[in-house]
């Protein structure tokens, strides 16, 4: 076949087509990114650009400080810098919570986190130093006219330190001209003469302390707030009312800053105190503590809400409850036992009453004569915990309330515990409750709104948020709940309530049986 003319053989290339609109499929190809994805990518790019800008500014400040230091001899060069194994300060170590007038004029040493740092001219800098929780104090570093013990170079170096670095300082305790409102230890300040960095902070924090100390939000990162510039402006204001909260994802991506937040440390302290008070009360009443396994071979409470996992060539489960093991202890000869450990529930719910993992405080005891033995024991341990927290954790509770506001939890005075029968609670609702509850029946179970209304009435009438309802009607309890022999219409069953919400339910079964496996 003859060759075709050149102009016919080389066809002109097709015109380049514009890219497909976001979210629409290109013919023969895949769909482009969605608007939400583009928005998320744009927000991420802004955050990265802002981090880079702030890092560059910080590096420029440090470079300027180093350049200034090179112009003159630094007579204080041994009084600051990175800490080494040779670094030593002989002054007395004092915790901020223990500072008092007896320390005025004395030189002390302190290890603390840099909460804030700022220059005040060329010869002075202010730093906020924080120990545990919100115990923080203002430090002042001012250049000496002789150039030692503090030089201009030292001032600039301290003023440019990264936030959340961990440092060792030597300082004199003095009285400020007026209380320093920005820190908890407001009636004293530290005049710093030596400063050594033990662990430097990052150039840019993934989450600042002020943000970490705000309530955790449930929004995705792209919806957590406005543009980066607005978030930065809020953080720089250093006012907790103006600082935006961070998403759960941000907290999880910055676990160290999450842990350093004073509110999180206070919550952890309260949790530990609950455990101690629980054990303290029960061990004083002859309870013996034991350890239950977390990895078990069968579902402990039904089979639907359980986390399964492979165990070599078998199936295993995370424990939903130590119930079996408590009963084994009693059947094995113990009279009273307690157990503390993690509990796992595969409950895919988003209510305050559902958690996939929590710490369980469990007890088991032999009942000798009456089911009220259990009621009195449970009531006693809970009141011991509540009262103990008010005494031992008042500071932590007050701190938590600055972030998560709540009213005081009212408790009955010792010997004045509120224990009502179900019928007495219904009678109170009929007599003094809202209009819609004036005809409630003693034979029907309470609804959640009824329980809350009764809780409000009991708080007003008895000045307590904690109470017990006993003798529930037969129709409001499982068929195997034991009926009261003196009144078969009610059962030997009771509930505990906090602020009108049920927190515990107990009933005596028709038959108790102890079985042993040999």
Domain 64-199 part of CATH 2.40.50.140: yes
pLDDT at 104: 97
pLDDT at 349: 79
Least confidently predicted of 240-254, 303-317, 415-429, 491-505: 240-254
pLDDT at 504: 87
Q: What tens digit of pLDDT does each residue of 368-407 get?
A: 999 999 999 999 999 999 999 999 999 999 999 999 999 9
pLDDT at 304: 57
* Mean pLDDT in residue range 356-368: 93
The pTM assigned to this predicted structure is 0.78
What distance in Å separates the CA atoms of residue 88 and residue 14, rounded to the nearest whole number? 76
Instruction: Report the 3 state secondary structure along 283-330.
Output: HCCCCEECCCCCEECCCCCCCCCCCEEEECCEEEEECCCCHHHHHHHH
pLDDT at 93: 96
Percentage above 90 pLDDT, the chain: 66
pLDDT at 518: 42
Number of neighbouring beta carbons within 10 Å of residue 356: 14
Task: Check residue 349 and report its DSSP letter.
Answer: -
On the CB side of 153, CA atoms within 13 Å amount to 21
β-bridge mates for residue 318, sequence order: 295
Q: Confidence class of residue 60 from pLDDT cuts 50, 70 and 90?
A: confident
Integer CA distances (angstroms), 497 to 326, 413, 460, in order: 25, 16, 15
Q: What tens digit of pLDDT does each residue of 145-161 get?
A: 898 899 999 999 999 99
pLDDT at 218: 64
* Mean pLDDT in residue range 170-192: 96
What distance in Å separates the CA atoms of residue 45 and residue 335, rounded to the nearest whole number? 63
pLDDT at 16: 46
* Residue that wins the pLDDT comparison between 190 and 231: 190
Q: What tens digit of pLDDT does each residue of 90-146 get?
A: 999 999 999 999 999 999 999 999 999 999 998 999 999 999 999 999 999 999 989
Q: At what angle do helices 152-159 and 35-71 cross, to 10 degrees?
A: 170
Residue 171: φ, ψ to 5°: -155, 155
The three-state secondary structure class of 399 is helix
* Mean pLDDT in residue range 41-63: 81
Q: Where in the chain is the domain with CATH 3.30.930.10?
A: 261-390, 407-518
Q: Where in the chain is the domain with CATH 2.40.50.140?
A: 64-199
Q: Confidence class of residue 2 from pLDDT cuts 50, 70 and 90?
A: very low
Q: Which of 92, 84, 88 is nearest to 194 (CA)?
A: 88
Residues near 179 by beta carbon (within 8 Å), at least 6 away in sequence? 186, 187
The CATH class of 407-518 is: alpha beta
Least confidently predicted of 65-79, 294-308, 340-354, 390-404: 65-79
* Residue that wins the pLDDT comparison between 366 and 350: 366
* Mean pLDDT in residue range 285-312: 88
CB contact at 8 A, 138 and 176: yes
Q: What tens digit of pLDDT does each residue of 235-292 get?
A: 344 344 567 788 889 999 999 999 999 999 999 999 999 999 999 999 999 999 999 9
Q: What tens digit of pLDDT does each residue of 200-244 get?
A: 999 999 999 999 999 988 645 444 443 333 333 433 443 445 677
In the CATH scheme, what architecture does the domain 261-390 have? 2-Layer Sandwich (3.30)
Q: Which of 210, 230, 204, 155 is nearest to 57 (CA)?
A: 204
pLDDT at 187: 96
What distance in Å separates the CA atoms of residue 311 and residue 295, rounded to the nearest whole number? 9
Element housing 467 (H / E): strand 466-470
The three-state secondary structure class of 93 is strand
On the CB side of 342, CA atoms within 13 Å amount to 9
Q: Confidence class of residue 71 from pLDDT cuts 50, 70 and 90?
A: low
pLDDT at 477: 82
On the CB side of 418, CA atoms within 13 Å amount to 26
Residues near 211 by beta carbon (within 8 Å), at least 6 away in sequence? 235, 243, 244, 245, 246, 250
DSSP string, 143-192: --TTS-SS-HHHHHHHHTPPTT-EEEEEEEEE--SS--TTSSEEEEEEEE
Mean pLDDT of all residues belonging to the chain: 86
pLDDT at 65: 62
β-bridge mates for residue 111, sequence order: 168
Task: Name the maximum alpha-carbon separation found in the chain.
Answer: 116
Element housing 396 (H / E): helix 394-403
Q: Which of 127, 108, 105, 124 is nearest to 116 (CA)?
A: 127
pLDDT at 67: 63
State both tokens at 362.
Answer: 């469990």
* Mean pLDDT in residue range 430-458: 93
Which range scores top for mean pLDDT: 63-67, 214-218, 472-476, 477-481?
472-476
What distance in Å separates the CA atoms of residue 509 and residue 136, rounded to the nearest whole number? 55
């Amino acid at each position: 076949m003859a060759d075709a003319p050149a102009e016919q053989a080389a066809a002109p290339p097709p015109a380049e087509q514009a890219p497909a609109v976001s979210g629409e499929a290109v013919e023969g190809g895949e769909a482009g990114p969605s608007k939400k994805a583009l928005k998320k990518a744009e927000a991420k790019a802004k955050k990265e650009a802002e981090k880079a800008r702030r890092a560059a500014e910080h590096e420029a400040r440090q470079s300027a400080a180093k350049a200034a230091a090179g112009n003159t001899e630094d007579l204080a060069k041994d009084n600051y810098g990175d800490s080494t194994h040779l670094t030593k300060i002989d002054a007395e170590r004092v915790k901020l919570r223990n500072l008092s007038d007896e320390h005025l004029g004395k030189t002390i040493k302190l290890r603390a986190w840099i909460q804030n740092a700022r220059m005040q001219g060329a010869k002075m800098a202010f730093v906020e130093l924080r120990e545990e929780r919100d115990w923080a104090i203002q430090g002042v570093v001012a250049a000496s006219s002789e150039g030692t013990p503090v030089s201009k170079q030292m001032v600039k170096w301290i003023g440019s330190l990264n936030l959340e670095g961990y440092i060792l300082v030597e300082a004199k305790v003095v009285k400020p001209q007026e209380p320093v409102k920005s820190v908890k230890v407001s009636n004293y300040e530290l005049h710093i003469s030596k400063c050594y960095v033990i662990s430097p902070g990052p150039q840019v924090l993934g989450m600042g302390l002020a943000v970490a100390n705000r309530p955790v939000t449930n929004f995705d990162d792209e919806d957590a707030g406005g543009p980066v510039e607005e978030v930065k402006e809020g953080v720089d204001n250093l006012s907790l009312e103006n600082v935006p909260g961070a998403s759960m994802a941000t907290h999880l991506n910055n676990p160290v800053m999450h842990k350093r937040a004073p509110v999180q440390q206070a919550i952890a302290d309260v949790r530990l105190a609950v455990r101690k008070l629980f054990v303290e009360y029960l061990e004083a009443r002859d309870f013996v503590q034991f350890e239950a396994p977390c990895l078990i071979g069968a579902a402990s409470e039904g089979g639907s809400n359980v986390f399964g996992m492979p165990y070599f060539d078998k199936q295993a489960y995370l424990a939903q409850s130590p119930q079996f093991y408590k009963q084994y202890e009693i059947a094995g000869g113990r009279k009273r036992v307690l157990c503390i450990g993690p509990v796992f529930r595969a409950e895919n719910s988003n209510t305050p009453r559902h958690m996939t993992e929590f710490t369980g405080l469990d007890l088991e005891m032999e009942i000798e004569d009456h089911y009220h033995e259990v009621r009195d024991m449970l009531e006693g341990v809970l009141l011991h915990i509540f009262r103990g927290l008010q005494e031992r954790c008042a500071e932590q509770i007050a701190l938590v309330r600055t972030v998560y506001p709540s009213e005081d939890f009212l408790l009955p005075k010792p010997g004045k515990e509120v224990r009502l029968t179900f019928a007495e609670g219904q009678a109170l609702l009929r007599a003094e409750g809202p209009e819609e509850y004036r005809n409630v029946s003693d034979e029907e179970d309470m609804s959640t709104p009824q329980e809350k209304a009764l809780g409000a009435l009991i708080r007003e009438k008895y000045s307590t948020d904690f109470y017990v309802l006993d003798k529930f009607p037969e129709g409001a309890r499982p068929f195997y709940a034991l009926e009261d022999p003196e009144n078969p219409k009610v059962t030997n069953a009771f509930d505990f309530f906090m602020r009108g919400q049920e927190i515990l339910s107990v009933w005596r079964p028709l038959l108790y049986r102890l079985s042993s496996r040999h």
